[in-house]
């Protein structure tokens, strides 16, 4: 079991470097949408919550899983919707194309 530690740590370090590299180049204009997008992405904890809520575990544990699943789904849904809503507002001055909402 413990040998899982090293490969997982390896993945964590690499992913952190990718994250730092990618986020550093995000436009400062978009830091608020960035934060709501990463909120939604890190709500991937939903994967753990589904595993707890959906398996045949004792009921009190499943209740914890359901609450966790609810919290994560709230973040996923509101995070992606809000990010998109904010991004739709960013327009250039070149041509005001206010075609479809």
Partner 1 sequence: MYGLTEGAYIVATSLFIFALHWMNAPQTARRGVYAGVAGTALAIGVTWIQPGIVHHWWIIGAIVAGAIVGIPLAMVPLTAVPQRTALSHCFGGLAAGLVGTAEFYLWFFHEPHRLTTFHVSAIVCEIILGYLTFTGSLLAAGKLQEIKWIPQRPVTYAGQNLVNFVLLGTAVALAVAIAIHPTAAWAPYVFPVIIVLSLLFGILLIIPIGGADMPTVIAILNSYAGLAAVAMGFALDNKLLVTAGALDGSSGLILAIIMCKAMNRSFTNVLFGAFGQAKQATASGEEKVYKAETPEGAAQVLEQAESVVIIPGYGMAVAQAQHKVRELYDQLKKRGVSVRFAIHPVAGRMPGHMNVLLAEADIPYDALVEMEEINPDMPQVDVALVVGANDVVNPAARTDPGGPIYGMPIIDADKARTVLAIKRSKNPGFAGIDNELYFSDRTWMLFGDAKGVIGDLVKQLSGDSAGG
Q: Which is nearer to partner 1, 1 or 99 (CB)?
A: 1
58: alpha, beta or left, given left = phi > 0 and alpha = psi -120 to 50? beta
Q: Which of 88, 87, 56, 52 is nearest to 72 (CA)?
A: 52
Neighbours of 29 (CB within 10 A): 9
CB of 99 to partner 1, least distance (A): 14
Q: Which is nearer to partner 1, 19 or 99 (CB)?
A: 19
DSSP 94: S
Query: Please, which of residues 47-76 interact with partner 1 by CB under 8 A?
Result: 47-58, 61-62, 64-76
Residue 24 found at the interface with partner 1 (CB under 8 A):
yes
Position 99 contacts partner 1 (CB under 8 A): no
101 touching partner 1, by CB under 8 A: no
């Amino acid at each position: 079991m413990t040998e899982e530690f090293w490969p997982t740590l390896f993945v964590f370090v690499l992913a952190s470097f990718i994250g730092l590299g990618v986020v550093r180049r995000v436009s400062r204009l978009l830091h608020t949408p960035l934060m709501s997008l990463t909120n939604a992405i890190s709500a991937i904890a939903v994967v753990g919550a589904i595993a707890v809520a959906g398996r045949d575990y004792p009921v009190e544990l499943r209740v914890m899983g359901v609450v966790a699943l609810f919290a994560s789904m709230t973040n996923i849904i509101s995070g992606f919707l809000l990010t998109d809503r904010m991004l739709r507002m960013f327009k250039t001055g070149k041509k005001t194309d206010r075609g479809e909402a």
